[in-house]
Amino acid sequence: MEVLYQVLEVADKVIYGALAVTALFGVFTVIMVTRRISQKRFSRPAHADAFLDDVRENLRSGNAEAVVELCDSPAYWSKAVPNLVHFAVENLERSPSKVRRMLAERFETEVLADLEYRAGWIATVIKSAPMLGLLGTVVGMINAFQTIAGSGKQGVDPSELADDIGVALFTTAIGLTVALPMVVLGAMVAVRIGKLSDGVQEQVGRFVDDLDAIRAGSKGA
């Protein structure tokens, strides 16, 4: 039992450290996910339009290799739509419906799944911070009662009791202080992922429509 009380005496410092690490990890995760989203999307709709126009012109001229080179260029290789276009060009022999389905599946597995996995850590931080704060509250109250119990007939030293109660209150406050901004940041990340998904679906849909029109024109000729 004595060992347990010794552990509880230093547990508050450990909890403060864990809360600091949790906060830093949450901020780091938000920054990394936000950067990842920025890499995957076009910065402006005009850039997406210019890329799709180049792809359409090259496909009309039957120059699929130029499309592949364009998608692999430094300006586009990290973005979601060029990667999907590259994948579609490599599977031109398949039916249009099959290409659409394959592109949707690839976007889900290669892009969205990765972003949602990374964003999931933000939710973990949101849940963990208040729980660490609650743990600090419990530890602080146990130490406070232990201080009262150990005082005997001499009475309680107010400063010692205040320290224990302070840990109980501060850890809860810090846990909430970490969690509340992370809720806002997590919502921001979710919105950006949603916008990325909508943009990619719209741009890939335009590409596939262009591809279907080019195929239909080739058959008619």
Environment class of 41 (CB within 10 Å of its CB; exposed 0-12, middle 13-18, buried 19+)? buried
Q: Where are the domains of the chain?
A: 2-214
113: left (phi over 0), alpha (psi -120 to 50) or beta: alpha
Would you say the C-alpha torsion 45, 50, 51, 55 has a positive or negative sign? positive
Reduced to 3 states, what is the DSSP secondary structure of residue 171? helix
The whole-number pLDDT of residue 157 equals 64
The whole-number pLDDT of residue 148 equals 73
The whole-number pLDDT of residue 129 equals 94
- pLDDT digits (tens), the chain, 221 positions: 555 556 666 777 888 899 999 999 999 999 999 999 999 999 898 999 999 999 999 988 888 899 999 999 998 989 999 999 999 988 888 887 888 889 989 999 988 999 999 999 999 999 999 999 998 888 888 877 777 776 655 666 666 677 778 778 888 999 999 999 999 999 999 999 999 999 999 999 999 888 888 877 665 55
Model confidence, pTM? 0.83
The whole-number pLDDT of residue 115 equals 92
